[in-house]
Amino acid sequence: MADLSIDFAGIKSPNPFWLASAPPANTGEQVMRAFDAGWGGAVWKTLGDPIVNVSSRFGSVDYDGRKMMGLNNIELITDRPLEVNLAEIRLVKKRYPKHVIIASLMTETKEDWRVLIQKCEDAGVDGLELNFGCPHGMCERGMGSSVGQEPKLLEEITRWTKEFAKTPVLVKLTPNTGDILEPGLAGVAGGADGLSLINTIKSIVGVDLDRLVPVPRVGSGSSNGGYCGPAVKPIALHMVAALARDAGVRIPISGIGGISNWRDAAEFIALGSTSVQVCTAVMHYGYRIVEDMIEGLSNYLDEQGMKSVNELRGRAVPGYREWGDLDLNYKLLAKIDPDKCIGCQLCMTACHDGAHQCIFPGSDAERARPPHAHAHGNAVRPKTYLAGKLAGDRVPWIDEPECVGCNLCQLVCPVPDCIEMVEVPHTGKEETWNDRVAQGRTKQPGGIHD
Amino acid sequence: MTSLLKKDRLETALPDKKPLYSSAEARAEAERCLYCVDAPCIKACPTEIDIPTFIKKIATGNTRGAASTIFDQNLLGYSCARVCPVEVLCVGDCVYNGWGRDPINIGRLQRFATETAVDHPAKNAAPLRTPKPKIGKKVACIGAGPASLAFAGYLALEGFDADVFEKRSVAGGLNTTGIAPYKLQAEDALHEVAWVESFGVQVKTGIEIGKDIKAEDLVRDYEAVFLGVGLGEDTKLGIPGEDGPSLTRDDAKSLGRVLVIGGGNTAIDVARECAGLGAADVAMVYRRSQKEMSGYAHELEGARLEGVRFVENAVPHSFVRDAGGKLVALRVSKAEGGKPIAGTEHDIPCDLVTLAIGQSKLRSLATQFAGVELDAKGCVKADRETGKTGNPKVYAGGDCINGGKEVVNAVADGRNAARDVLAKLSKGS
Ligand SMILES: Cc1cc2nc3c(=O)[nH]c(=O)nc-3n(C[C@H](O)[C@H](O)[C@H](O)COP(=O)(O)OP(=O)(O)OC[C@H]3O[C@@H](n4cnc5c(N)ncnc54)[C@H](O)[C@@H]3O)c2cc1C
Ligand SMILES: Cc1cc2nc3c(=O)[nH]c(=O)nc-3n(C[C@H](O)[C@H](O)[C@H](O)COP(=O)(O)O)c2cc1C
Ligand code: SF4
Ligand code: SF4
């Protein structure tokens, strides 16, 4: 079994799975149950002066029967007295000395930060996370994302906290910014020991069409909230990767955003995260999901021949290229397995209306090409066409010379492994757009001035 | 019209086998639909309802739109949803079957859409269908079964005056009087009739064409006449002892041992109804082997699960009655290839025998229309696409032209004939 333990800027954790600062890490009782379930650490629900919350607080996006593909909230930081939280932190640290507790913090003046940090460290926390990310409520009061969106301010407050802190300081970034490198590098300049991202994305999750008020509805009104959950994962991955590959950022990253299982976690780690944090998936299914995360990640590492999770970290970072450095001569072709096909013909309509008009019904031997398509005249069913075991001649065929290898058909096909994208043998050598730029060969026929 | 129904009819004791989905159930089921292109389920539906489209509309909460999509093709989508043998029609062709997954419950979704939109429309919802202003043209239908109702309904929506003559006291045809009550009860069938009447269709019950009104008078007075007379009387065995007091199940409050003669879908319906009503024992008696029964496999399986027994290769010989005329047994002969073997007669004790061996053809009425002909089997000859008969003013559809199929086929025929009338009108002839 692979070693899952990590060292995050000096903080040792039995595994990379931490609860994000949110309702699942609200109280000591919860955090202890989470540790019993297998979580390696918890970033406590953000501490500061207790706030007042509203009702309701959440809204969600469901998709085709699956609930909470995306979650939106207008909750603020902790609503419990600081001393109560600190007493619980003390107790948890006493009972679970090997597990990680990080205090998430949010406050205003330099003096506030000094007192808050000192109290938390006295309670025994392993590290601090500065919440510069909350995009609702707190930002209206000059905190949260209103700091995260001002690199200079972020750098200065980080510097204050480093003056006072004895434990590592993590800066939690907001994705509500044009270029994530700006706040990320500002954190580094302020002396941060690590970066956490992403916090939630500013959003309106929907509108109650009966009352004509956005949701979540609080009486006759609503407010923008923060969006998280599986839907935000691609945005978070992109931001984590951007920081991981930047030479100016050489501090560990705690990846957050839409992580629901070990695969998501492995992806964040492969793009440069040292630990990962989870909120929505736990709010949806409970702490128990960590069992599969631990097992799945460990099995995966074994199968990849990696002895430790540290070997996976950052492994996919070099695979990221600028678009201009991608090989223009690499080609794929869609191939349908006639015996797996159930004849739904979704690939056909997707290709016709949304791609390159080159998938046709099995019953047609020949089809005239639409005039706007690529070079050739009539599309002829391949000689190798085979009717399927399940779908007979409802198995569509692909006009291969016209297929551009976009793989839309594969994405829409409901049957696993039914459409495969096969590599066309590489003709000649690799060539990128940047190669062409270097050689002055960027002009394609049919331009604006032709 | 529902007031014509007896209150304590036996059928009301049979619960609905496929009850109305709640909106959450409907949505969950609708969301499973793959939304196939040129979908096989559409082709399997005799009325070619655009099934994936109406299902997706249910999934988005557009129930009224879903119902509208259904009614575009099938004005009696409400009863069809409940009585269609979907296992051999749309559901049987769902692509999920080939994949080994549960097919979509299309019938129940169709019931949800039609029943919800018709009976529980949203506040301020526009009516599902509004008839066009009258165009001053009259059509007549003979029989108020599904075929005629579809024909009359579609034309009434186009501004025709549509009169439907029904010889019975209640309308709806076999939807009201024949369908197994655990699928559709008479009240529901009449509810659908009332909906069609709301488009301006005039249903006139208790009038038998050929007797109360002459065929030629109809042809003279109306633009077009539609024959939707269905089939005739139930076929009898013609064996000794058949006509006696125990042959009706009207007053059967407590059913004892029941024998159902026949191997078709009606026989299965009757057997399952008797089982559902708590009969002590139900057996289907068929002259050939069980494999050769013409009933649908899924229906036979349902009957088997409900405890119905099968007596194969047995031909009724005579009814055995005691001195008071009360039925005590059915005497049957063993059979080979459906033919009795002499000397093999034996008695099966029973309290009730029901016959489900088909309906005769109504030969006499059709031929009273000049130019209308019957084929060798006694079915009215009509064009399968348009319902046109040998008389340019007379159309026919439903059981009387196909010898007895399903409600949905009758609806398709009525609709197609209506479309032909409209096409003629727009051509100005
Ligand atoms: C017991 C039974 C169970 C069935 N179960 C199903 C089922 O589960 N699902 C399914 O899809 N199909 C079922 N069917 C078949 C279905 O009922 C018929 O296919 C369908 O009703 C045919 O419609 P129709 O309009 O052609 O005729 P019908 O429904 O038979 O209507 C014809 C009407 O014409 C009237 N009529 C006849 N002559 C005259 C006249 N001279 N003047 C005035 N009126 C006249 C009759 O009284 C009758 O009301 C079943 C049939 C039977 C017998
Ligand atoms: C209800 C709710 C409350 C949250 N409260 C906080 C908070 O107090 N402090 C904080 O730093 N982040 C807070 N977050 C953000 C989460 O910590 C996390 O960054 C975000 O939800 C993305 O992770 P996920 O996709 O796993 O949910 C909150 C999120 C939710 C849904
Ligand atoms: S999407 Fe897949 S299953 Fe459907 S027709 Fe295309 S290849 Fe066949
Ligand atoms: S890969 Fe793209 S272009 Fe090729 S068949 Fe599939 S959808 Fe069409």
Where does a domain end: B119, B154, B180?
A: B119
Pairing, β B394-396 against β B309-311:
unpaired
Where does a domain end: B298, B327, B355?
A: B355
Asked whether residue B385 falls in the same domain as residue B346, the answer is no
Residue A122 pLDDT > 90: yes
In-domain check, residue B108? yes
Which residue's alpha carbon is at the smallest distance from atom 15 of ligand 2? Answer: A199
In chain A, what residues touch B103 (CB-CB under 8 Å)? Answer: none
Condensed to tens digits (0 to 9), the pLDDT of residues A375-411 reads 567 888 988 899 999 999 999 999 998 899 999 999 9
In-domain check, residue B65? yes
Cα(B92)–Cα(B298) distance, integer angstroms: 11
Place of tokens 């026949």: B262
In-domain check, residue B127? no
For ligand 2, whether the C-beta of A174 sits within 6 Å is: no
Preceding omega of B127 cis (within 30 degrees of 0): no
Q: What number does the ligand 1 atom closest to the CA of B398 have?
A: 26
Cα(B142)–Cα(B168) distance, integer angstroms: 11
Q: Are B36 and B106 in contact (CB under 8 A)?
A: no
Q: Which of B121, B95, B91 is nearest to B18 (CA)?
A: B91
**Chain B residue nearest residue A347, CA to CA:** B37
Task: Find the CATH number of the domain harbouring B100.
Answer: 1.10.1060.10
pLDDT value, residue B325: 86
In chain A, what residues touch B125 (CB-CB under 8 Å)? Answer: none
Nearby residues of B423 by Cβ (< 8 Å), 6 or more positions away = none
Condensed to tens digits (0 to 9), the pLDDT of residues B280-290 reads 899 999 999 98
Alpha-carbon torsion (A5, A6, A12, A17), positive or negative: negative
Phi first, then psi: give them for residue B8, nearest 5 degrees: -100, 40
Put simply, whether A414 touches B (Cβ < 8 Å) is yes
Residue A130 pLDDT > 70: yes
**Chain A residue nearest residue B52, CA to CA:** A344
Cα(B148)–Cα(A312) distance, integer angstroms: 72
Q: Please report the number of interchain residue pairs, chain A to chain B, with beta-carbon separation below 8 angstroms.
A: 36
Asked whether residue B366 falls in the same domain as residue B350, the answer is no
From the list A134, A341, A351, A409, the catalytic residue is: A134
Cα(A379)–Cα(A194) distance, integer angstroms: 57
Q: Are B47 and B414 in contact (CB under 8 A)?
A: no
Q: Are B90 and B55 in contact (CB under 8 A)?
A: no
pLDDT value, residue B247: 45
Asked whether residue B21 falls in the same domain as residue B88, the answer is yes
In-domain check, residue B128? no
Q: Are A449 and A342 in contact (CB under 8 A)?
A: no
For ligand 4, whether the C-beta of A124 sits within 6 Å is: no
Where would I find the H helices in A271-330? Answer: 280-285, 289-303
In-domain check, residue B222? yes
B37/A342 touch (CB, cutoff 8 Å), yes or no? no
A415/B99 touch (CB, cutoff 8 Å), yes or no? yes
How much distance in Å is there from the Cα of A12 to the middle of ligand 2? 23
Q: Which of B63, B52, B60 is nearest to B94 (CA)?
A: B52
Condensed to tens digits (0 to 9), the pLDDT of residues A75-91 reads 999 999 999 999 999 99
Q: Which residue of A64, A343, A349 is in closest CB contact with B95?
A: A343
Q: In chain A, which among 338-357 make CB contacts under 8 A with chain B?
A: 342-346, 348-349
Ligand having the closest approach to the CA of A418: 3
Where does a domain end: B307, B323, B355?
A: B355
Q: Is B116 exposed, middle or buried (0-12, 13-18, 19+ CB in 10 A)?
A: buried
- Give the Cβ contact number of residue A406 at 10 Å: 16
Quote the number of domains for chain B.
3
Q: Which residue of B28, B37, B98 is in closest CB contact with A346?
A: B37
Asked whether residue B178 falls in the same domain as residue B226, the answer is yes
Asked whether residue B146 falls in the same domain as residue B194, the answer is yes
For ligand 3, whether the C-beta of A341 sits within 6 Å is: yes
Among B23, B29, B37, most A C-beta atoms within 10 A, so best to mutate, is B37
Put simply, whether A65 touches B (Cβ < 8 Å) is yes
What is the helix, strand, coil percentage profile of chain B, to 5? 40, 15, 45
In-domain check, residue B240? no
Q: Catalytic: A279? A: no
DSSP-assigned letter for residue A25: G
Asked whether residue B392 falls in the same domain as residue B410, the answer is yes
Q: Candidates A345, A347, A358: which one to mutate for ligand 4, based on the most atoms within 8 Å of Cβ? A: A358
Put simply, whether A405 touches B (Cβ < 8 Å) is no
**pLDDT band, very low/low/confident/very high, at A66 (cuts 50, 70, 90):** confident
Residues A233, A239, A244: CA angle, nearest 5 degrees? 120
Q: Are A9 and A260 in contact (CB under 8 A)?
A: no
- The SS3 assignment for A360 reads strand
Asked whether residue B391 falls in the same domain as residue B339, the answer is no
What amino acid occupies position B314?
Answer: A
For ligand 1, whether the C-beta of B174 sits within 6 Å is: yes
For ligand 3, whether the C-beta of A301 sits within 6 Å is: no
Put simply, whether A64 touches B (Cβ < 8 Å) is yes
In chain B, what residues touch A65 (CB-CB under 8 Å)? Answer: 27-28, 31-32
Asked whether residue B364 falls in the same domain as residue B351, the answer is no
Cα(B296)–Cα(A65) distance, integer angstroms: 33
- The SS3 assignment for B119 reads helix
**pLDDT band, very low/low/confident/very high, at A190 (cuts 50, 70, 90):** very high
Preceding omega of A198 cis (within 30 degrees of 0): yes
Q: Which two tokens stand for residue B14?
A: 């049979």
Which residue's alpha carbon is at the smallest distance from atom 5 of ligand 4? Answer: A403
Put simply, whether A78 touches B (Cβ < 8 Å) is no
Q: Which of B368, B1, B367 is nearest to B217 (CA)?
A: B368
pTM over 0.90: no
**Chain B residue nearest residue A394, CA to CA:** B40
In-domain check, residue B28? yes
Residue A241 pLDDT > 90: yes
Q: Which residues are paired to A71 by β-bridges? A: A60, A228
In chain A, what residues touch B96 (CB-CB under 8 Å)? Answer: 342
Q: Which two tokens stand for residue A264?
A: 């998501």
Q: Which residue of A65, A349, A414 is in closest CB contact with B28?
A: A65
Task: Find the CATH number of the domain harbouring B400.
Answer: 3.50.50.60
Cα–chain-centroid distance for residue B44?
A: 17
Residues A266, A267, A270: CA angle, nearest 5 degrees? 85
Q: Which residue of A65, A344, A348 is in closest CB contact with B34?
A: A344
In chain A, what residues touch B24 (CB-CB under 8 Å)? Answer: none
pLDDT value, residue B249: 47
pLDDT value, residue A373: 59
Mean pLDDT computed over every residue of chain A? 95
The whole-number average pLDDT for the span A134-159 is 91
What ipTM does this complex have?
0.77
Top pLDDT among A118 and B243 is at A118
Asked whether residue B23 falls in the same domain as residue B95, the answer is yes
Cα–chain-centroid distance for residue B343?
A: 40
In-domain check, residue B246? no
**Chain B residue nearest residue A353, CA to CA:** B37
Place of tokens 């780690």: A269
For ligand 1, whether the C-beta of B179 sits within 6 Å is: yes
Asked whether residue B63 falls in the same domain as residue B101, the answer is yes
Phi first, then psi: give them for residue B342, nearest 5 degrees: -60, 140
Domain that holds residue B61: 17-119
Q: Which residue of B28, B32, B34 is in closest CB contact with A346?
A: B34
Where would I find the H helices in B137-247? Answer: 146-157, 174-177, 186-197, 215-221
Q: What number does the ligand 2 atom closest to the CA of A260 have?
A: 26
Asked whether residue B309 falls in the same domain as residue B348, the answer is yes
Asked whether residue B305 falls in the same domain as residue B337, the answer is yes
Which residue's alpha carbon is at the smallest distance from atom 33 of ligand 1? Answer: B143
For ligand 1, whether the C-beta of B87 sits within 6 Å is: no
Residue A361 pLDDT > 50: yes
Q: Which residues of chain B have pLDDT under 50?
A: 247-249
